[in-house]
Amino acid sequence: MSNANGPDYTDRLKNLSVRSRQYLLLGMLAAVFFTLVFGGVYLWDRQEPMLPQAMEQNSGTRSIVAPGAQIDPREIWMTQSSQQLKEMDEIIRSMRQKITELERKTGEPAIQPGNFFAPLPAPLPPEPSVPEPEKVVHMPAPQPYLPEPLPESAIPPLPGIAVFQIATSPSMTDGEEKPASHKTYIPSGTFMRAVLLGGMDAPTGGQAQNNPMPVLLRVQDNAFLPNRYRAKLKECFMLGSGFGDISSERAYLRLESLSCTLKNGAVIDLAAKGYIVSEDGKAGLRGRLISKQGQVIANALMTGIISGIGRGLQQSATSFSTSPLGTVGTISGTANQFRAGLGAGIGRSLDRVSQYYIRLAEQLFPVIEIDAGRVVEVVLTKGIEFELGPEQDLVDFGALRGKPRRIMEEEG
C-alpha cells in the first residue's frame, strides 16, 4: 500500500523482520546519543573559561622580599615610641598608686596629680627622750711636738752606691804580673817517626772511604820541622783512620788527632791533619789483599752444577708425548718415579744454596791486612797551634824563640 505524496514508511516498518527493527532502533538510539554528545561538546567549547580570566585579573609582578623589609622605618619608630610612652604611663600610674597607699597608711592627704609643689607635711612631735648615760672616753696622751729641723750644715751626707766584686780566684796585686802564655805553631810539612800500636783490616768497599777503620800510633822521636828544627813530640799519641785500595793493594791512613801529656800534668788534645808514609817512601801502607769472594763463588758454582745434574736426572725419568693438544710428560714405573723425585729434590735445594752463596758474595769485599808494629812516617798537611804556659815544655822553646840553632851545630 502506497501513498500519492510519497512512500509509506509505516508499511515498510511493518514489513521488516523483528531483527531488522531491532537494528533500526539501535541505530536511531546511537544517532541520538552521538548527536547529544557532540552538541554538548560544541556548546561547551564555545563558552569562555572563567579561570584564565580570573588569573589574568589577578596576574601581576610581585616582588618577594624578606619579612619586614617593606615596613617603613617611620612606622617602626612611631610604634616603638608609642610602646615606650605606654610603658612610661604604666610606671607613673604604679608610682602614684604606691604613693597613695603610703599616704593612706600615714593619714596624710594624697598629692594631687600634677601638683608636684605641694607643701610638705608638718613634722611629727618629738618623742620623749630618755637621757642616755654619760660615756667616758679615754683620749690618748697628746703627742709631743716634732723637733725643729736641723740646719743643712748639720745634716750628714747620704752614703753613695757601693759596688762589690766577687772574685772566684785570688786577685793579683799591682806589683804581681799574670803568668804570660805563649803560642807555638808547628807548620805543615812537619814529619815524625811513629809506630802502629795496632793492626787493621782496611776495607775496600764502595762505602769504605765514608766509614774508615781507626788506628792508633805512637810517636817514637821528636818531630822534624822546616830548617832542621825539632819539636818535642816524642811519646805522644796520634789517632788515624784508613781504607784500602784493591788496585794498589795499599791501605791509605789519614791523621785525625794528636794528644800529649806534659810533665806538669797538663794535657794537650788537638785536631790534626796528615797522612802516613810507609817504609818504601810512598803514601799508604802496602799490605796483604785478603778476599773470600773466590771461595764463596766456587761454592756457588759447585752447588749450581749439582743442581743441574739433579734436574737432568728428573728429565731422564720423564717421557714426553706430543699431541695436537700439546706436549704431555709422564713418568711410568716405580724406578722412574723414584729417580724423578730424587732429581727434583736435589735440583731445587741446591739451586737455593747456590743463590745464597751468590748473595753472600755480593756482600763480601776484599780487605787490606796491615800488621801491628810497623814503623811509619807521619806527615802533617796542616799546621797545629799550641797555646802553652811558661812551665810547659812540649816544644823546644829555646830553639824556636831564641837564636836559631841547627841540629848539625848541636852535634858538632
The answer to whether position 238 is within a domain reads yes
pLDDT for position 263: 79
The answer to whether position 354 is within a domain reads yes
For residue 254, the number of C-alpha atoms closer than 13 Å in the C-beta half-sphere is: 15
Q: State the DSSP string of 215-247.
A: EEEEE-SPEEPGGG-EE--TT-EEEEEEEEETT
Q: Are residues 244 and 278 in the same domain?
A: yes
% of the chain with per-residue pLDDT over 70: 65
pLDDT for position 408: 39
Cell 811519646, residue located? 235
d(CA 240, CA 272): 10
Tally of structural domains, the chain = 2
Q: Which residues constitute the domain of residue 254? A: 182-290+368-411
The answer to whether the CB of 382 falls within 8 A of the CB of 272 is: yes
The answer to whether the CB of 391 falls within 8 A of the CB of 285 is: no
Q: Are residues 251 and 396 in the same domain?
A: yes
Tell me phi and psi for residue 327, to 5 degrees: -100, 130
The answer to whether position 106 is within a domain reads no
The answer to whether position 115 is within a domain reads no
Q: Are residues 388 and 343 in the same domain?
A: no
Q: Are residues 192 and 300 in the same domain?
A: no
Q: Are residues 281 and 383 in the same domain?
A: yes
pLDDT, tens digit, for every residue of 208-262? 778 889 999 999 999 998 888 888 888 999 999 999 998 889 999 999 999 988 8
Cell 771461595, residue located? 295
Q: Are residues 286 and 297 in the same domain?
A: no
The answer to whether position 222 is within a domain reads yes
The answer to whether position 110 is within a domain reads no
% of the chain with per-residue pLDDT over 90: 18
| Cell numbers describing residue 206 | 764502595
pLDDT for position 54: 45
Regarding predicted confidence, which is higher, 285 or 411?
A: 285
The answer to whether position 386 is within a domain reads yes
Burial of 17 (0-12, 13-18, 19+ CB in 10 A): exposed
The answer to whether position 227 is within a domain reads yes
pTM for the whole structure? 0.45
Whats the size of the chain, residue-wise? 412
> What's 236's domain CATH number?
2.40.128.260
